Structure 1
Amino acid sequence: MSVASMTGYARSEGRDQTASWVWEAKSVNGRGLDLRLRLPAGCDALEPAAREAAARRLGRGSIQLGLTLTRQTEAGEMRINTALLTRLADLCRDWQAARPELAPARLDGLLAIRGVVEPAAETEPADDEAGREQRLAAMRAGLDAVLDRLAAMRREEGARIAALLTGQLDLISALTRRAEACAALRPEAIRARFTQQVAALTEAAPSLDPDRVAQEVALLLVKVDVREELDRLAAHVAAARDLLTQGGVIGRKLDFLAQEFNREANTLCSKSADVELTRIGLDLKAVIDQFKEQVQNIE
């Protein structure tokens, strides 16, 4: 299965002898699958099919799916607005009586006035039961087409995001290896720091029990040891790669891993007693923030 984004847009059009229609589908991020459906009057029978088709193709996201239906009309005959024509003719006679020098009004001139001649009321063509069923079937085909296009667009966007996430995982892995190779984590460096701390404490307080001092210093060294965090970071990177390879509805799992990444990076920075290791930890946090931001778009 491929990785899919939760954002996308698609459109599908259709028509028959009596009507034309347009399906539009828009998808944005969402915690689950939330379908908001808008259907014109007389098309309520399409709702179950729309919900089933969306659930079959889409795993997560807030989906707005709408259908616009335009019925074709047949033009009726032209008609004359006799009331308006009579009123205009009366006005013309009154003006001619008052102003004999004016030429009498002509019929063609009166008919040219807006509103005198107008189309009769348009009528919708007859639509029998068989025609309605055929139209609904064609609309269902358009529904499948628009959802297929939306799913394809989400997969295309998901492929681009997956490539970004893979690059960020590569960088997290590289930073983890740099931290593992950091001089402050080498056994000889840890041993030298341990010896110096014991010597400093013994010199500052000669009456202290050297064995007790050694125990306390050993505990401190355990607390600042970050090798466990680095091991977990490497394990999380491997788990994230497996999820991207698996595909499907993996967004929430990747989001959980992003939180785990961030937790390990924070712990590494808090434990670090070395400037180089702290810088690596800060670089890790920056990459992990970018990773988490992209993961929010994954289905």
Structure 2
Amino acid sequence: MPVYSMTGYASALRRPLQNPDSPPLPQLGVELRSVNGRFLDLTLKLGEEFRHLEPQLRERVAQAIRRGKLELRLGSAREEEEAFPCPQDSVLERLQSLQSRLIEHFPQARPLSVQEVLHWSRQGGASPSWDEAWVLKLVEDALDGLREARAREGARLVAILLEKIEALKQLADRAEPLVPAVVARHQQRFLDRWQEALGQAGALAHAELSEAARDRALSEAAAQAIRIDVAEELARLRAHLDEITAQLNKGGELGKRLDFLIQELHREANTLGSKSTALELSNISVEMKVLIEQMREQVQNIE
């Protein structure tokens, strides 16, 4: 199943088939734009003749799109050849009759200009009669185009996320061998300082407390090792990365789940940085957080 981005654009422009004896209908245009959003937020911008279709349009959009801020425009296309309509004879005769009557009462009134005749011809013309099933099919075709556009963008996002996941795994591989050496070095530093403190207490005190001091020092060193050991954090980070990879391969509606997993990655990287007593691990933690933040930005666009 593909992964869909919430960002996409699609349009459809078509003229309906009709009886040659009927007045020609203009082309009908549908335009769809979507960006990321927590839920489905649909805005409809419809021509007056399509207002009654709003419930059906909302239902069809909800069936095709789950999340995102989406705008749907539906209306007659304004083509150049339609900017200058061909007025019907009945409309021209009515305009001429109205002009004659007005001039009888207002002789100083000027005649209608060509521009005014064209304008009033548009206003006075009958609204086109659209076949509802044909209009809804046109909208569905545009929705199919939007889904395809969102799927293409989703595939690009998946490729970016997999690249970031691989980079994070490489950082974890760099950090893992450093952990035992860092722990051992920290333990030894602690024991050295403990011995130094005992030495400053005096020879007598050192003789009386040497056995107890040694046990206490070993216990404290072990506790320090547990506090700075980040092996568990690295293991959890790898597990989260594997789960994200599995979800991306599975596809479908996974944006919210990925967002939660990204938060968990942030938690492990932050803990790695806070526990670190070595510059090497601190630098790795910073690099991880940069990559995770870049992943979060991409996940925000996934449906």
For Structure 1 versus Structure 2, the TM-score category normalised by the shorter chain is 0.7 to 0.9
In the other structure, the counterpart of 1:148 is 144
58, 61, 68: which one aligns with 1:54? 61
CA-to-aligned-CA distance 1:3-45 (integer Å, 9 cap, x gap): 1111111111233443432111110110011112222324234
- The more displaced of 42-51 and 7-16 is 42-51
Identity across aligned pairs (percent)? Answer: 35
What's the secondary structure of 1:235's corresponding residue?
helix
User: 1:1-299 residue pairs with structure 2 within 5 A?
Assistant: 1-16=1-16, 17-69=24-76, 74-76=87-89, 77=92, 79=96, 81-82=99-100, 83=103, 87=107, 115=112, 119=117, 122=121, 123-125=124-126, 132=130, 135-182=131-178, 185-186=179-180, 190-191=183-184, 193-205=186-198, 206=206, 207=209, 209-299=213-303
Task: Check conservation: 1:14, 1:139, Cα contact below 8 A.
Answer: no
What TM-score comes out, normalization by structure 2 length? 0.79
- Report how far residue 193 of structure 1 moved: 4.1
Contact 1:73/1:125, CA 8 A, preserved across alignment: no
1:73·1:124 contact (CA, 8 Å) conserved in 2? no
Matched residue SS, 1:30: coil
- Deviation for aligned residue 1:189: 5.8
Letter in 2 for 1:172: L
Q: After superposition, what is the alpha-carbon deviation per residue over 1:166-222, rounded to whole angstroms, capped at 9, x for unaligned? A: 10000001101110022xx23x66345424522430331234632122112211110
What is the number of residues matched between the two proteins?
A: 268
Deviation at 1:136, TM superposition (A): 1.1
Structure number with higher helix proportion? 2
- Describe the SS at the equivalent of 1:10: strand
Q: Which amino acid aligns with 2:191?
A: V
Q: Which has the larger radius of gyration?
A: 1
Amino acid at match of 1:5: S
Structure 1: tracts of 5 or more residues without a match: 89-112
Q: CA RMSD in A?
A: 2.9
